[in-house]
């Protein structure tokens, strides 16, 4: 394994100032770029009323509609938080300061690709951009300090390529379906619907099932989920947050685009496939959460269960659409909050295992409190947005008359709640084994996490009208 | 257009049965030459767009990526291993998948479109088989590149060539797959894949 596979001890023990002279400007520059992009996305949100959308540009390859606007704002907000976290960690992490330049470069390229992908109006272009984002993220995953980070990064890349190839097989089946009916097909999102058939068509169904199955793998839905816990655990925490809260959402956009294109076509078939993947994911996540004794892996399995909830909500369609959109938005903040706080825990305790951590709230009062808040938000407690969203999804499932899905979701979420509490609460509130005063925590490290908590509470209690309208518009676009 | 399609199929099937990983760049180049041939001859008139696409296929897929892969494999023990394990079971599965792929293509003798679809499906199936049967990362990387060539061949089934931005993105994926993949698999011993991961991959 090369030197990059695991950071050498000399790097780990060296002071940041000695390791990388001349790169102190990188982290502030990263924050500056993230801030500019975030301000630009907010400016677009404020200056473009929903009635004026969609706007096509770059020869109609890119589109600004409610879906792309929501996700551009979301991913850039999360990225701003992650970049501030990196700035705060650079001062205390010699490994990070050693390779900050390449990491920042990869992250910015990744974000550029994600922004283009979210706005893409062409399914094959979006497909290629999702794969490109994976190829940018793989070297970031390989910078983790697991036993063999390159192996993990390779498997992440392999899984991604496989799931996206399955998605591409779906495109091929759609093309074959159109050809057999003598129809020209274009993969532009706003034109693909014209090539679909309202009659039952085997090729079309096969294409749809491949696309949803492949993209389901990118979302961490069972059965193609196993890359997710492994990658999220082994990657550096900032990268885990980037994958869970940013890359996850470009795959969500791809699924939304497919649902938008297929509105009125094969809705029962879509519903059944999503339902099945949702059931499987919730069961898998519940069983794994009971067994896991590693807090990063626990968050990762919670991501699998979140994907299951999203799939169940999408399977219901109209009744739960608003809840699903709110759930996706709140989840991006919950995952970022948890992973970034987990990064602080890892920096102090040097392990991802739960066993050596006890009484975190006494050793690191602020991070311990934020982790507690994050866990409560993850488990769907009020006043966080995830509570409201879960209630809406459950209510939608009941309205749709699917009592099986309702029961399974309630049971599995209860199991996940109990298992998570059993693992995490002693870690947070148990007797501390460390002596000495609490660890000093800088305000700059807390700033992004506080922002995420504020947003979660705001979305769960009082959502400003423009944001509500945007969420409704996205929900309507997927059949809500 | 039948001849380049047959060339593409041969360049996919032969290495799976008889090829070593170290020779895979040559087979990838052959696949790309066939792809370039198809790209240029599929349109009745040669436009700047078609020429640019053909040139891009030849430069990126036939020369650049095989060269990068050859460099990555140079001196590695993995280069001397078979691309797919040589046993009757794997061969039997491969032959079945190829036959199935041509059934998917709706009868290869029907027309060029059906033959193309059969070649695309056969290449994708073979790529999945390489990924499923060989735990050597270098072989898996070759499997991924086979798959991406199949996806590029799919373009010839479309009424119009993909627009340039789509092409650039797909070529970017191909180049970055070999660049990042080579970096990740270099000096990489067979990965200890978790049983659950294997179960999902299968």
Which residues, 6 or more positions from A291, have their beta carbon under 8 angstroms from its beta carbon?
none
Q: Is the pLDDT of residue B195 over 60?
A: no
Mean pLDDT throughout B27-42? Answer: 90
Q: What is the DSSP letter of A438?
A: P
Question: Which of A128, A176, A218 should we substitute to test contact with B (largest number of B Cβ atoms within 10 Å)?
Answer: A128
CB atoms within 10 A of CB A198: 9
Helices marked H in A262-384 = 267-291, 295-316, 321-349, 360-363, 365-378
A122 touches chain B (CB under 8 A): yes
For residue A474, the Cα-to-chain-centroid distance in whole angstroms is 18
Chain B partners within 8 Å of A61 (Cβ): 163, 165
Chain A partners within 8 Å of B178 (Cβ): none
The model's confidence at residue B109, banded by pLDDT at 50, 70 and 90, is low
Chain A partners within 8 Å of B144 (Cβ): 158, 161
More confident position, A319 or A73: A73
Q: What is the pLDDT of residue B106?
A: 63
Is the omega angle on the peptide bond into residue B102 within 30 degrees of 0, that is, cis?
no
* Contact: B159, A184; criterion CB under 8 Å: yes
User: Can you tell me the distance from the alpha carbon of A147 to that of A351, in angstroms, rounded to the nearest whole number?
Assistant: 12
Question: Which of B184, B186, B195, B197 should we substitute to test contact with A (largest number of A Cβ atoms within 10 Å)?
Answer: B184
Between A and B, how many CB-CB pairs are < 8 A? 101
* Contact: B176, A224; criterion CB under 8 Å: no
What pLDDT digit, counting tens, does each position of A393-450 carry? Answer: 999 999 999 899 999 999 999 999 999 999 998 899 888 777 777 777 788 888 999 9
Of A381, A365, A392, which Cα lies nearest the Cα of A456? Answer: A381
Q: Is the pLDDT of residue A13 over 50?
A: no
Q: What is the pLDDT of residue A457?
A: 96
* Contact: A162, B188; criterion CB under 8 Å: no
Mean pLDDT throughout A451-467? Answer: 94
Q: What is the pLDDT of residue B51?
A: 84
Q: Is the pLDDT of residue A276 over 50?
A: yes
* Contact: A158, B151; criterion CB under 8 Å: no
User: Can you tell me the distance from the alpha carbon of A187 to that of A128, in angstroms, rounded to the nearest whole number?
Assistant: 13
CB atoms within 10 A of CB A400: 17
Mean pLDDT throughout A364-386? Answer: 93
Q: Which residues of B fall below an 8 Å CB-CB distance to A?
A: 113, 117, 120, 124, 127-128, 131, 137, 140, 144, 147, 151, 154, 157-159, 162-163, 165-166, 169-170, 172-173, 176-177, 180-181, 183-188, 191-194, 196-197, 200-201
How close A283 gets to chain B, by Cα (Å)?
A: 15
Q: What is the pLDDT of residue A429?
A: 87
Q: Is the pLDDT of residue A164 over 80?
A: yes
User: Can you tell me the distance from the alpha carbon of A472 to that of A147, in angstroms, rounded to the nearest whole number?
Assistant: 45
Helices marked H in A262-294 = 267-291
Q: What is the pLDDT of residue A7?
A: 37
Q: What is the pLDDT of residue A21?
A: 67
The model's confidence at residue B193, banded by pLDDT at 50, 70 and 90, is very low
Of B156, B89, B145, which Cα lies nearest the Cα of B119? Answer: B156
How close A398 gets to chain B, by Cα (Å)?
A: 32
Helix axes B137-154, A149-180, angle to 10 degrees: 20
Mean pLDDT throughout A79-98? Answer: 87
* Contact: B165, A61; criterion CB under 8 Å: yes
What pLDDT digit, counting tens, does each position of A314-337 carry? Answer: 998 777 999 999 999 999 999 999
Query: How much of chain A exceeds pLDDT 70, in percent?
Result: 96
* Contact: B154, A154; criterion CB under 8 Å: no
| Mean pLDDT score across all residues of chain B | 84
DSSP reduced 3-state for A120: strand
The model's confidence at residue B105, banded by pLDDT at 50, 70 and 90, is low
This model of the complex carries an ipTM of 0.88
User: Can you tell me the distance from the alpha carbon of A218 to that of B148, in angstroms, rounded to the nearest whole number?
Assistant: 18
Q: What is the pLDDT of residue B87?
A: 82
The model's confidence at residue A300, banded by pLDDT at 50, 70 and 90, is very high
8 A C-beta contact, residue A420 and residue A298? yes
Q: What is the pLDDT of residue A3?
A: 33
Residue A150, beta-bridge partner list: none
User: Can you tell me the distance from the alpha carbon of A127 to that of A180, in angstroms, rounded to the nearest whole number?
Assistant: 24
What pLDDT digit, counting tens, does each position of A134-154 carry? Answer: 999 999 999 987 788 999 999
The model's confidence at residue A11, banded by pLDDT at 50, 70 and 90, is very low
Mean pLDDT throughout A173-182? Answer: 89
For residue A437, the Cα-to-chain-centroid distance in whole angstroms is 36
Give pairs for A84-87: CB < 8 Å, separation 24+. A84/A31, A84/A34, A84/A444, A84/A447, A84/A448, A85/A238, A85/A241, A85/A340, A85/A343, A85/A445, A85/A448, A85/A449, A86/A27, A86/A30, A86/A31, A86/A238, A87/A27, A87/A28, A87/A30, A87/A31, A87/A444
The model's confidence at residue B19, banded by pLDDT at 50, 70 and 90, is confident
User: Can you tell me the distance from the alpha carbon of A111 to that of A79, in angstroms, rounded to the nearest whole number?
Assistant: 8
Q: What is the pLDDT of residue B70?
A: 94
Residue in the block written with tokens 């984002």: A133
H/E stretch holding A177: helix A149-180
Strands A62-64 and A55-57: antiparallel
Q: What is the pLDDT of residue B110?
A: 57
How close A458 gets to chain B, by Cα (Å)?
A: 39
Q: Which of A44-53, A196-205, A274-283, A363-372 has the lowest mean pLDDT?
A: A196-205
Of A276, A152, A292, A131, which Cα lies nearest the Cα of A216? Answer: A276
User: Can you tell me the distance from the alpha carbon of A69 to that of A66, in angstroms, rounded to the nearest whole number?
Assistant: 5
Is the omega angle on the peptide bond into residue A250 within 30 degrees of 0, that is, cis?
no
What pLDDT digit, counting tens, does each position of B127-157 carry? Answer: 999 999 988 999 999 999 999 999 999 888 8
Of A137, A117, A112, which Cα lies nearest the Cα of A67? Answer: A117
DSSP reduced 3-state for B197: helix
From residue B109, give the alpha-carbon distance in Å to each of A159, B118, B157: 35, 10, 16
């Amino acid at each position: 394994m090369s030197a990059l596979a695991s950071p050498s001890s000399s790097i780990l023990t060296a002071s940041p100032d000695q390791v990388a002279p001349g790169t102190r400007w990188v982290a502030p520059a990263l924050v500056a770029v993230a801030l500019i992009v975030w301000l630009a996305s907010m400016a677009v949100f404020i200056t473009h009323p929903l009635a004026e959308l969609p706007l096509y540009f770059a020869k109609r390859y890119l589109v600004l509609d409610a879906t792309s606007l929501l996700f551009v704002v979301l991913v850039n907000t999360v990225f701003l938080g992650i970049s501030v976290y990196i700035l705060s960690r650079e001062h205390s992490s010699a490994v990070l300061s050693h390779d900050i330049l390449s990491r920042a470069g990869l992250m910015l390229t990744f974000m550029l690709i994600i922004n283009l992908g979210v706005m893409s109006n062409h399914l094959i272009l979006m497909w290629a951009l999702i794969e490109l984002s994976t190829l940018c993220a793989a070297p970031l995953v390989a910078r983790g300090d697991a036993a063999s980070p390159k192996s993990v990064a390779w498997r992440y890349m392999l899984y991604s390529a496989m799931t996206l190839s399955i998605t591409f097989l779906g495109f091929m089946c759609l093309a074959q379906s159109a050809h057999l009916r003598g129809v020209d097909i274009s993969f532009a999102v706003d034109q693909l619907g014209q090539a679909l058939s309202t009659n039952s068509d085997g090729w079309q169904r096969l294409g749809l099932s491949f696309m949803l199955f492949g993209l389901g793998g990118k979302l961490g839905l069972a059965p193609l989920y196993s890359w997710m816990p492994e990658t999220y655990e082994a990657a550096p925490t900032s990268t885990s947050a980037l994958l869970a809260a940013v890359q996850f959402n470009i795959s969500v956009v791809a699924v939304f685009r497919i649902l938008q294109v297929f509105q009125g076509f094969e809705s029962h078939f879509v519903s059944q496939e999503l339902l099945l993947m949702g059931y499987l994911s919730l069961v898998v996540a519940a069983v794994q959460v009971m067994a896991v004794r590693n807090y990063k892996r626990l968050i990762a399995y919670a991501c699998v269960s979140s994907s299951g909830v999203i799939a169940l909500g999408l399977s219901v369609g109209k009744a739960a659409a608003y809840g699903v959109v709110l759930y996706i938005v709140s989840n991006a903040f919950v995952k970022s909050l948890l992973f970034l706080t987990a990064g602080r825990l890892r920096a102090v305790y040097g392990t991802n295992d739960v066993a050596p951590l006890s009484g975190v709230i006494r050793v690191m009062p602020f991070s311990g409190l934020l982790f507690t808040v994050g866990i409560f938000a993850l488990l769907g407690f009020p006043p966080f947005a995830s509570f409201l969203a879960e209630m809406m999804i459950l209510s939608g499932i009941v309205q749709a008359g699917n009592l099986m899905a309702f029961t399974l979701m309630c049971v599995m979420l209860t199991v996940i709640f109990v298992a998570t509490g059993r693992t995490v609460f002693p870690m947070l509130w148990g007797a501390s084994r460390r002596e000495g005063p609490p660890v000093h925590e800088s305000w700059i490290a807390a700033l992004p996490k506080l922002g995420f908590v504020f947003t979660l509470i705001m979305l769960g209690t009082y959502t400003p009208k423009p944001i509500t309208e945007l969420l409704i518009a996205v929900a309507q676009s997927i059949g809500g | 257009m039948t001849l380049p399609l047959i060339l593409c199929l041969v360049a996919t099937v032969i290495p799976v049965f008889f090829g070593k990983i170290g020779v895979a760049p040559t087979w990838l180049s052959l696949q790309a030459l066939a792809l370039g041939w198809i790209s240029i001859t599929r349109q009745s008139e040669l436009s700047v767009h078609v020429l640019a696409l053909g040139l891009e296929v030849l430069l990126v897929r036939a020369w650049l990526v095989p060269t990068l892969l050859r460099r990555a494999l140079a001196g590695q023990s993995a280069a001397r291993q078979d691309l797919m394990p040589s046993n009757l079971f794997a061969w039997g599965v491969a032959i079945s998948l190829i036959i199935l792929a041509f059934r998917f293509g709706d009868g290869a003798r029907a027309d060029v479109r059906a033959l193309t679809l059969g070649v695309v499906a056969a290449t994708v199936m073979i790529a999945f088989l390489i990924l499923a049967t060989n735990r050597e990362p270098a072989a898996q990387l070759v499997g991924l590149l086979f798959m991406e060539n199949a996806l590029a061949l799919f373009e010839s089934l479309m009424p119009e060539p993909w627009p340039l931005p789509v092409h650039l993105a797909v070529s970017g994926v191909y180049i970055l797959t070999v660049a990042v993949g080579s970096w990740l698999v270099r000096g990489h011993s067979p990965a200890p894949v978790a049983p659950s991961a294997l179960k999902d991959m299968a």
